[in-house]
Amino acid sequence: MSAHVLPSLPYAFDALEPYIDARTMEIHHGKHHATYVAKLNEALDKAPELKGRELKTLLQQLGSVPEAIRGAVRNHGGGHANHSLFWGIMGKGKGGEPVGQLGAAIKQEIGGFAALREKFNAAATAQFGSGWAWLSLDQGGRLVIHALPNQDSPLSEGKTPILGLDVWEHAYYLKYQNRRPEYIEAWWSVVDWEAVEANYRAARG
Ligand code: MN3
């Protein structure tokens, strides 16, 4: 059976310094994300019929997951999917502005990059407690900025996430302590817009 696997980080732990510190990346990937993967697999051991199902499908169809493991799939499956996306939309020496079709869509639908940042920062800052801020596509293929608590995936509400920011304290506490807004602001310097645009084009089909 194909168990879910922790993807390797596509860059070194210190690649996102000074914006995100190496120690945080090491614990975040090697402990937090690894635990979501392990606990997802543990839950799926109790429902072998779901083992071949893609993670994306599991999260899109949470209602069809047996109730006994639904919470575990929501939390740990969501955690696995969210972090897998997160590592991929960051990189060394990135930042800058949205490019290509995505850049054009942001201009047209949100009013430009400055407006996107402002709305996204507000969503990330206002998320009470643990959660994520998202830039997703809704079912009509339109860009939407939103936040979700815990490890809830946009996939579970019919959206397709293309950019996400982890605002759990484990993502920033070592370097930023309680200064979440500072972490959010710094994070824009590591966003890989080519990767986000690839997600956008894939989501548009
Ligand atoms: Mn996290």
Confidence label for 159 from pLDDT (cuts 50, 70 and 90): very high
Are 59 and 110 found together in one domain?
Answer: no
pLDDT of res. 116: 98
For 13, the token pair is 């732990």
The three-class DSSP label of residue 160 is strand
Ligand 1 center to residue 108 CA distance, Å?
Answer: 31
Q: Say how many domains are in the chain.
A: 2
Radius of gyration (C-alpha) of the chain in whole angstroms: 17
Ligand 1 center to residue 199 CA distance, Å?
Answer: 20
Ligand 1 center to residue 81 CA distance, Å?
Answer: 11
pLDDT surpasses 60 at 88: yes
Q: Determine phi and psi for 16, rounding to 5 degrees.
A: -100, 5
What CATH number is given to the structural domain containing 135? Answer: 3.55.40.20
DSSP-derived secondary structure letter, 154: G
pLDDT of res. 152: 98
Distance CA(197)–CA(160), nearest Å, equals: 13
For 12, the token pair is 């070194």
pLDDT of res. 51: 86
Are 27 and 81 found together in one domain?
Answer: yes
The percent of residues above 90 in pLDDT, for the chain, comes to 98
Ligand 1 center to residue 167 CA distance, Å?
Answer: 7
What CATH number is given to the structural domain containing 50? Answer: 1.10.287.990
Mean pLDDT of the chain: 97
pLDDT of res. 1: 47
Ligand 1 center to residue 48 CA distance, Å?
Answer: 27
Are 118 and 78 found together in one domain?
Answer: no
**Per residue in 119-135, pLDDT tens?**
999 999 999 999 999 99
